[in-house]
Structure 1
Amino acid sequence: MKLTGNTILITGGTSGIGKGFAQHFLGLGNTVIICGRRKDRLEQLKARNPGLATFQCDLTDAASRENLVRHVIQECPDLNILINNAGIQLTADLAKPVDLAAVEQEIATNLIAPLHLSSLLVEQLRARPEPCIVNISSGLAYTPLAFMPVYCATKAAVHSWSLSLRKQLEKTGIAVYEIAPPSVDTELGHERREDKSQTHGGMPVNEFISEALKALENNVLQAAIGPAASMMDQRDALFERLNSHL
């Protein structure tokens, strides 16, 4: 994947990994569009990053996703890269009735939204030079943490869907990448924390972005970054270790 001269749509671009990708790609001379739910954050990022395009969107809503695609194609007809980054991370106690609304929100954000967006943009991407779709999964796709079962299951589904998407699109010229982060120091999961300002802990965002960009530039179609590599390679043993306290 070339890292310059692209027009890139990044979902969940107002914080964490999405924000990191946006800023790095802007610095490399790309046109970058981010979408997110929070208007205030979008406005702040646009003010601080000249050239950044923003669009408010609720990715859990199909009509909002369709509106996003119409807007981006109209305003940025050179779009050739989609980065499916947006995600939420909640806990669930499977020993009692689950909060169905929370489960549906997590599945819609983490799986349905990227699947739907990608399908809506295939025709746009295949008409552009060097098109690609980048799906952000997780090391937890391979070695789940049992107290956040829906998140881990959606990321496992993103991995499986990425394999199928890559196979189905191989004759279109659209490359499909999967980047699996380890724990990265973002606010992912803040919805389930009492202190909403507390970060996730783990690899610094800039370090993760640097490693992810190296993988993309070297055309590594499935890249597990940092500790996520062992989570993929040693999944069974690590599952027992990570969940021994349950």
Structure 2
Amino acid sequence: MNTSGNTILITGATSGIGLGLALRFHAAGNKVIVAGRRKAMLQQITSDHPGIESLELDVADAHSIVAASEQIASRFPNLNVVINNAGVMLPENVRDAGSLEVAEETVTVNLLGTIRMTHAFLPQLAKVADSYIINVSSSLAFVPFPSAITYGATKAAIHSFTESLRYQLAGTSVRVIEIVPPGVRTTLFGQENDDQAMPLEDFLDESLSLLHGAPTPSEIVVERAKFLRFAEANGNYGDIFAMLSAIKAPA
């Protein structure tokens, strides 16, 4: 993937990994559109970083996604990269009355959001000679974290969807890439001060180095994510699952 000259739309880009990617891509000479639900945050980002564009988008709302695709096609016809980063990670206990509502929200945002974004933006991306759909999954797609039961399920589904999407789009101008983060120091699941989580800037450094490698890999897996990504192949899935099972959700 070229380091500059792209037009990139990033969902969930008002904080964490999404915002970090947006700022790195912008600094490298790309046209970046940050998308999210929080209008005030979008305005703050565009004010603090002239040249970055913004788009109000709620990936939990199918109509919002369609409207966003129409706006982007009109405003940014050269769009060639969509990064499906928006996601939620919430603690769940299936024995609690409110657990089903949390599960449904997680599926709608994490999984349906990615699928709907892909369908909405694929026609535009297919018209561009060098385009990319980049889906952000998680190393927890490969060994589940019981305290966030539906989160891991949605990320496993995103991995499966991305693998099959790559196969279906083989031979087209659209490349399909999966980013597989480990725990990163962001507000997702209260990890911003977690010493066991990877510092965000370190994650961005390593991920972008891999993304801009030649040839561009199909999966971006930093070293800190490999022990989960390849746990089953390495024969230590059971031990790692037991370790994750012992971790309690933040209060």
Structure 2 length normalisation: TM-score? Answer: 0.91
Q: Which amino acid aligns with 1:199?
A: E
The one of 226, 233, 236 equivalent to 2:230 is 233
- Structure 1 position 242 matched with structure 2 position 244: yes
Rounded to whole Å, the distance in 2 between the matches of 1:144 and 1:163 is 19
Rounded to whole Å, the distance in 1 between the matches of 2:14 and 2:123 is 27
TM alignment of 1:198-237, pairs within 5 A: 199=192, 201=194, 202-218=197-213, 219-235=216-232, 236=237, 237=239
Kindly state the Cα deviation for residue 58 of structure 1 after the two structures are TM-superposed.
1.4
Structure 1 length normalisation: TM-score? Answer: 0.93
Taking a change above 3 Å as real, the CA distance of residues 92 and 6 of structure 1, as seen in their structure-2 partners, is same
Aligned length: 239
| 8 Å Cα contact 1:183/1:200 also seen in 2 | no
1:14 is matched with: 14
1:111 is matched with: 111
Kindly state the Cα deviation for residue 133 of structure 1 after the two structures are TM-superposed.
0.7
TM alignment of 1:99-178, pairs within 5 A: 99-178=99-178
Rounded to whole Å, the distance in 2 between the matches of 1:200 and 1:104 is 28
Taking a change above 3 Å as real, the CA distance of residues 101 and 49 of structure 1, as seen in their structure-2 partners, is same
Task: Output one character per residue of 1:151-171: Cα deviation in whole Å (capped at 9) or x when no partner.
Answer: 011001110000000000112
- Structure 1 position 60 matched with structure 2 position 60: yes
| 8 Å Cα contact 1:181/1:226 also seen in 2 | no
* Structure 2 SS opposite 1:227: helix
Kindly state the Cα deviation for residue 242 of structure 1 after the two structures are TM-superposed.
2.0
Kindly state the Cα deviation for residue 200 of structure 1 after the two structures are TM-superposed.
5.9
Kindly state the Cα deviation for residue 99 of structure 1 after the two structures are TM-superposed.
2.8
The percent of aligned pairs where both chains have the same amino acid is: 36
Task: Output one character per residue of 1:65-107: Cα deviation in whole Å (capped at 9) or x when no partner.
Answer: 1111111111111000000001100111123445332211111
Q: Which amino acid aligns with 1:209?
A: L
Instruction: Could you list the structure 1 runs, at least 4 aligned residues long, displaced by more than 3 angstroms after superposition.
Output: 95-98
Taking a change above 3 Å as real, the CA distance of residues 96 and 171 of structure 1, as seen in their structure-2 partners, is same
Q: Where in structure 1 are there 5+ consecutive unaligned residues?
A: 191-197
Task: Output one character per residue of 1:183-215: Cα deviation in whole Å (capped at 9) or x when no partner.
Answer: 11111125xxxxxxx726311111111111112
CA RMSD of aligned residues (A): 1.5
Kindly state the Cα deviation for residue 18 of structure 1 after the two structures are TM-superposed.
0.3
Q: Where in structure 2 are there 5+ consecutive unaligned residues?
A: none
